[in-house]
């Protein structure tokens, strides 16, 4: 199947203002015709809202950065604010790829070398692969995920695997940028997440893209992967020019709120390759239309080379632009529509003649018959690509070193730092030691609640029962008088009298308690005993 032929289930793939891709069912012929007419009016300034907005911004409107160069010569075909500092977003990953390929060329790492995902990489925000810390992925598979998925966690994994740390890899990026002659670029991370000190320009991105094609032509297929297959998951490329504009075969897209929608794209027609850079578009559709219009102008010879990249004017202010697409969307949309209308005017004035009766028919031949393609690039459905397989884990039989986070700029295979080793170690390898029992700990079954009042026995009945059930003969009179309540209370708190009631000996016979002689002492003792019994009962 031709790469420009839509598949049976391709549908109409479009992206809205928020950049979220959605698959929509095919529209009827009337719906498609009305959609084409709406797009044409938008491009030609037919909408009243766009016309009013552009007339109020004629003095203050500022075009977003854009650049077109010829790959072979490096000459500039078209430029607009090409040296204006800008946030590159995920276009940064082109420099990450360049440093990685340079490391492969220098034999410091191979495509089969496993990279270990660290906890720092796992903590990156989307877009990401989401691999757990400790997961291994080869450099070859990681670079494919980097270019197709634009995975931020994989960018960190590549940086740590090659240079040992993100900071050390950023030093390598800036060193390579200086070697390439990038004047408006400074990198602090390998994925392009927003940072005030992380910026570039359209000129530098075009120069970097040209260096990738010229210095590493054998790896050009990395930019032209339409989809990946990881297990049962299909990962689509974010570059929606692939398979929609004739000859497009790369390279990279990027987006953050402050940067807008960026793209570096390359296309080849009739043996001539052109590189287009678009920065700061308010949405995906505007970025796609603008890039297609720049390709149309270049391949139609409307724009001609007039200056080299080294001769472009350098702005006096080298700080990144505070341009914010999110907060100024209405103004940015008006500026983008006005700029697209300006780019499309020479194309519409040429030999191109619209054919409304065939404009809604989507076929591969229509792309090659009519120019400009930009007028209806968003109406062309994305093709269904044959996904390339990727996997996790090392290559079978691999016995070489493993690249992981370690001391900066140390050789691959060096032992990681102690604090880094625990960051990506599997959880099963770090089992906590069993706790030793505390000899002073209070058992859980033992409670500190006070004894209930119902359990406490009165001293008098306890004294009476103990005296009554004693297994020995009754004590003398002076001994019975010495019994005091405090002693009885101590016995009651220990709750031992209850046990004594259950194990008490049987009562002795009454004959044993009778005195041998009938005298006053015996009567006196009997009287005291009777008094004590009377008191105990009450």
Whether 150 is catalytic = yes
Q: Which residues on neighbouring strands pair with residue 362, listed in sequence order?
A: none
Contacts of 468 by beta carbon, 8 Å cutoff, 6+ apart: 507
| Region class of 409: left (phi > 0), else alpha (psi between -120 and 50), else beta | left
3 state SS for 288-329: HHHHHHHHHHHHCCCCCCCEEHHHCCCCCCCCCCCCCCCCCH
- CA proximity to 510, closest of 497, 529, 524: 529
Percent of the chain as helix, strand, coil, to the nearest 5:
40, 15, 45
445 labelled ligand-binding: no
Which entry of 80, 118, 150, 200 is annotated as an active-site residue? Answer: 150
* Nearest by Cα to 97 from 199, 187, 5, 203: 187
| Angle 489-495-497 from CA coordinates, rounded to 5° | 80
| Sole residue written with tokens 């009962």 | 537
DSSP assignment letter at 393 = B
Is 40 noted as a catalytic residue in this protein?
no
Q: From the candidates 10, 90, 200, 201, give the one annotated as an active-site residue.
A: 90
Q: How does strand 260-269 pair with strand 272-281? A: antiparallel
Catalytic: which of 15, 93, 128, 144?
93
Rounded to 5 degrees, φ, ψ at 176 are -70, -35
Q: How many CB atoms lie within 10 A of CB 13?
A: 18
Active site residue 90: yes
Question: Quick check: helix, strand or coil at residue 249?
Answer: strand
Residue positions annotated with a catalytic role: 90, 93, 150
Binding residues: 252
Binding-site residue positions for substrate: 252
């Amino acid at each position: 199947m031709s790469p420009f032929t839509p598949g049976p289930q391709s549908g109409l793939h479009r992206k809205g203002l928020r950049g979220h891709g959605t698959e929509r069912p095919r529209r009827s012929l009337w719906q498609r015709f009305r959609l084409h007419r709406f797009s044409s009016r938008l491009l030609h300034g037919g909408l009243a809202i766009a016309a009013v907005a552009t007339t109020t911004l004629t003095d203050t409107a500022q075009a977003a950065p854009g650049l077109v160069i010829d790959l072979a010569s490096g000459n500039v075909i078209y430029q607009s604010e090409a040296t204006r500092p800008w946030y590159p977003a995920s276009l940064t990953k082109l420099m990450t790829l360049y440093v990685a390929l340079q490391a492969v060329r220098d034999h410091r790492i191979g495509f089969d070398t496993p990279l270990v995902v660290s906890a720092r990489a796992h903590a990156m925000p989307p877009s990401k692969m989401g691999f757990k810390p400790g997961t291994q992925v080869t450099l070859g598979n990681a670079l494919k995920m980097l270019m197709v998925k634009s995975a931020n966690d994989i960018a960190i994994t590549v940086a740590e695997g090659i240079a040992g740390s993100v900071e050390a890899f950023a030093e390598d990026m800036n060193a390579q940028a200086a070697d390439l002659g990038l004047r408006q670029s400074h990198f602090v991370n390998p994925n392009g997440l927003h940072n005030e000190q992380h910026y570039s320009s359209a000129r530098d991105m075009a120069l970097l893209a040209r260096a990738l094609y010229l210095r590493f032509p054998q790896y050009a297929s990395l930019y032209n992967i339409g989809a990946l297959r990881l297990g049962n998951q299909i990962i689509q490329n974010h570059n929606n020019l692939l398979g929609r504009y004739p000859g497009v075969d790369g390279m990279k897209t990027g987006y953050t709120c402050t940067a807008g929608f960026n793209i570096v794209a390359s296309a080849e027609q009739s043996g001539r390759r052109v590189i287009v850079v678009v920065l700061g578009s308010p949405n995906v559709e505007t970025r796609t239309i603008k890039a297609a219009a720049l390709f149309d102008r270049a391949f139609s010879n409307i724009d001609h080379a007039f200056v080299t990249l080294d001769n472009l004017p350098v702005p006096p202010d080298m700080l990144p632009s505070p341009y914010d697409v999110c907060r100024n969307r209405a103004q940015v949309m008006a500026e983008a529509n006005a700029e697209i209308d300006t780019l499309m005017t020479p194309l519409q004035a040429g030999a191109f003649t619209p054919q409304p009766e065939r404009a809604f028919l989507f076929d591969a031949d229509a792309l090659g018959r009519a120019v400009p393609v930009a007028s209806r690039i968003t109406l062309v459905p994305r093709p269904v690509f044959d996904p390339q397989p990727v996997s996790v884990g090392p290559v079978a039989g691999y016995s070489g070193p493993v690249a992981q986070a370690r001391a900066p700029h140390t050789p691959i295979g060096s032992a990681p730092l102690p604090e880094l080793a625990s960051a990506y170690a599997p959880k099963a390898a770090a089992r906590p030691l069993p706790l030793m029992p505390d000899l002073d700990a209070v058992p859980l079954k033992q409670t500190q609640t006070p004894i209930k009042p119902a359990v406490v026995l009165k001293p008098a009945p306890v004294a009476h029962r103990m005296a009554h059930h004693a297994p020995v003969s009754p004590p003398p009179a002076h001994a019975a008088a010495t019994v005091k309540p405090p002693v009885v209370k101590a016995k009651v708190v220990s709750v031992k009298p209850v046990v004594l009631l259950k194990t008490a000996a049987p009562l002795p016979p009454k004959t044993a308690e009778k005195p041998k002689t009938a005298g006053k002492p015996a009567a006196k003792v009997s009287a005291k005993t009777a008094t004590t019994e009377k008191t105990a009962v009450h």
